[in-house]
Amino acid sequence: MNRNINICYIDDRLDPLLSQYLDGFCEDYNREEGSDYSLEFSEYKFRNVDNYKTLMSNNKVNKANIIIIDSYLFENENSNLSKFTGEQFKIILKQILPFIKTIVISQNPINTNSVSISKYKSSGFYDTGSEGEYKKYYEENLAEVLKTNIISTIEEKEVINQISADSEVDSILVDTIQTTISGIVDKALFEKEDLDELIKLFNEVKTNYGH
């Protein structure tokens, strides 16, 4: 059984402080005694040619167990493709690869009805000189969310391993679950109009009620 947990940070403007924190978080976790799993950190810079299809087809993204994604990367003014937010991508990803955990981060104020997390900033500008401050901020606002998702991922991996060894569970169902948790995407999903209609609906809601 694969005992790596892949954490991928996706942003059109990768935040160096957030990247440093996530990299350090993974290193600290891996140094802890008694952990049977290892964290691996990677980044993906969202490009102006990207959309939800290219992201979910990307090996680094669909092999992730936990994704930290910026809220507004799909509203990159340089992108001429369908634009939607990280929160919307989170829901679409859950439909296609439900075992991937998604944490949305934003540089803007967070609505009280949202579970998204604000990026660290100081007086409206990223404070590159306050190492202790940004670490403290993410320890207070992000660390527990990461730990919860890590525990959930480990639990799923362990249960799926048990299911695979259980002759009572239908083998086709087991194969389907294993394929999904491995991040293998059914390319046929990208040919359906359902997701495009879902994105259209999301954008209509955003226009009518604001984001």
Structure token pair of residue 198 = 């879902």
> Do 45 and 11 meet the contact criterion of CB atoms below 8 Å apart?
yes
Can you give the pLDDT at residue 126? 47
pLDDT of 36 strictly over 70:
yes
The model carries a pTM of 0.77
pLDDT band at 72 (very low <50, low <70, confident <90, very high): confident
At 186 the three-state DSSP class reads coil
73-131 confidence digits (pLDDT tens) = 765 455 554 566 788 888 888 877 888 999 999 887 777 777 889 999 754 444 555 66
CA gap 120, 138 in Å, rounded: 7
At 101 the three-state DSSP class reads strand
Structure token pair of residue 138 = 């993410």
144-155 confidence digits (pLDDT tens) = 999 999 999 999
CA gap 104, 99 in Å, rounded: 16
